[in-house]
Chains A and B, each alone.
Chain A
Amino acid sequence: MRAAAFFCLLLFAVLALSWALPHTYGLIFVKPIEKTQLFYSPKLSRCIFTEQIRGNDPEAAKKSEGHHSDIVYKDELGNYYDRLAFEAALPFIYYRNMEMRGMLPVSVDGKTYDRRAIEKARRVLELRSSSLDGHSLRTSCLPLIESNPGQMALLYPDDRFRLTREKMEFINADKNAEDKVLSERFTDALKSQGFTFPAMHVGGNFTNFKPYEGGIFLTDATGGLFHLLRRDGAPVCKKIPLPDGVIPRHVLVSEARERMWLGLVLDDRDRIWLMREGDNALIGLHTEGYRPFDMDFKLIFNPAFMTAVYSDARRIQARVFSLPDPACANGTRLMPFHSYARTMSRAAESVETHLADILFPFTISLTSEISNRISFSLTPSGHVLQAVILSLLLALFYLLYERRRSSLDGWKTMGALFICAAGVYALIPLLLLEEQN
Chain B
Amino acid sequence: MLQIIKALFLKEYVKTRAAMLFLLLLGALAILWIGVGTNRLFMLDHPEIVWYHTMDLHQIPYRTFSFFPLFSALIFCFCQFLPEMRDERMRIALHLPCPLWLLMFGHLAFGLLFLLLLFAALVAALLFMLCRLYPAEAVVTALFTTLPWCIAGIYAYLCCAFVLLEPRKKTRLLGIILFFSVTAPLLANTTPGAFETGLLPFLTGIPLLLMGLFLPALHYRTREVE
Question: Which A residues contact B (CB, under 8 angstroms)?
Answer: 1-2, 4-6, 8-13, 15-17, 19-20, 137, 139-141, 143, 156-160, 162, 171, 173-174, 176, 206-207, 366-367, 372-376, 428-429, 432-435
Tell me, yes or no, whether B190 is within 8 Å of chain A by CB. yes
| Chain A residues whose C-beta falls within 8 Å of the C-beta of B55 in the assembled complex | 139, 141
| Chain B residues whose C-beta falls within 8 Å of the C-beta of A5 in the assembled complex | 211-215, 218
| Chain A residues whose C-beta falls within 8 Å of the C-beta of B214 in the assembled complex | 1-2, 4-5
Q: Of the candidates B58, B133, B173, B178, which one forms a contact with A176 in the assembled complex, judged by CB atoms under 8 Å apart?
A: B133
| Chain A residues whose C-beta falls within 8 Å of the C-beta of B182 in the assembled complex | 16
A174:B190 contact, CB within 8 angstroms: no
B198:A366 contact, CB within 8 angstroms: yes
B52:A9 contact, CB within 8 angstroms: no
Query: Which residue on A lies nearest to B136, using beta carbons?
Result: A141
B194:A372 contact, CB within 8 angstroms: yes
A2:B46 contact, CB within 8 angstroms: no
Can you list 30 A-B pairs, Cβ within 8 angstroms, ordered by A?
A2-B214, A5-B212, A5-B218, A8-B207, A8-B211, A9-B209, A12-B178, A15-B205, A16-B178, A16-B181, A16-B182, A20-B184, A139-B137, A139-B141, A140-B137, A141-B137, A156-B49, A173-B46, A174-B47, A176-B47, A176-B134, A367-B190, A372-B191, A374-B194, A376-B198, A428-B177, A432-B170, A432-B173, A433-B174, A434-B170
Also in contact, A376 and B208, with CB within 8 A (given A17-B181, A156-B52): no
| Chain B residues whose C-beta falls within 8 Å of the C-beta of A376 in the assembled complex | 198, 201
CB < 8 Å A-B pair total: 129
| Chain A residues whose C-beta falls within 8 Å of the C-beta of B190 in the assembled complex | 367, 374
A141:B135 contact, CB within 8 angstroms: yes
B194:A2 contact, CB within 8 angstroms: no
Tell me, yes or no, whether B62 is within 8 Å of chain A by CB. no
Which of A5, A15, A20, A176 has the most CB atoms of chain B within a 10 A radius of its CB? A5
| Chain B residues whose C-beta falls within 8 Å of the C-beta of A176 in the assembled complex | 47, 132-135
What distance in Å separates the Cβ of B153 from its nearest Cβ neighbour in chain A? Answer: 16
Give the CA-CA distance A2 to B222 in the complex, in Å: 13
| Chain B residues whose C-beta falls within 8 Å of the C-beta of A373 in the assembled complex | 194, 196-198
Give the CA-CA distance A13 to B158 in the complex, in Å: 13
B48:A159 contact, CB within 8 angstroms: yes
| Chain A residues whose C-beta falls within 8 Å of the C-beta of B78 in the assembled complex | none
B192:A162 contact, CB within 8 angstroms: no
Also in contact, A1 and B101, with CB within 8 A (given A8-B208, A137-B194, A375-B198): yes
Taking A137-B191, A158-B48 as known contacts, 18 extra A-B pairs with beta carbons closer than 8 A to each other, sorted by chain A number, are: A1-B101, A4-B211, A5-B211, A5-B215, A9-B213, A9-B215, A12-B205, A12-B209, A12-B212, A16-B181, A16-B205, A20-B177, A141-B135, A159-B48, A160-B135, A176-B47, A374-B185, A428-B174
| Chain B residues whose C-beta falls within 8 Å of the C-beta of A139 in the assembled complex | 55-56, 137-138, 141
Query: Which residue on A lies nearest to B51, using beta carbons?
Result: A173
What distance in Å separates the Cβ of B69 from its nearest Cβ neighbour in chain A? Answer: 18
| Chain A residues whose C-beta falls within 8 Å of the C-beta of B181 in the assembled complex | 16-17, 19-20
B134:A206 contact, CB within 8 angstroms: no
Give the CA-CA distance A150 to B36 in the complex, in Å: 37
B48:A156 contact, CB within 8 angstroms: yes
Give the CA-CA distance A148 to B184 in the complex, in Å: 48
Also in contact, A158 and B46, with CB within 8 A (given A139-B55, A176-B135, A428-B177): yes
| Chain A residues whose C-beta falls within 8 Å of the C-beta of B213 in the assembled complex | 5, 9
| Chain B residues whose C-beta falls within 8 Å of the C-beta of A162 in the assembled complex | 135, 137
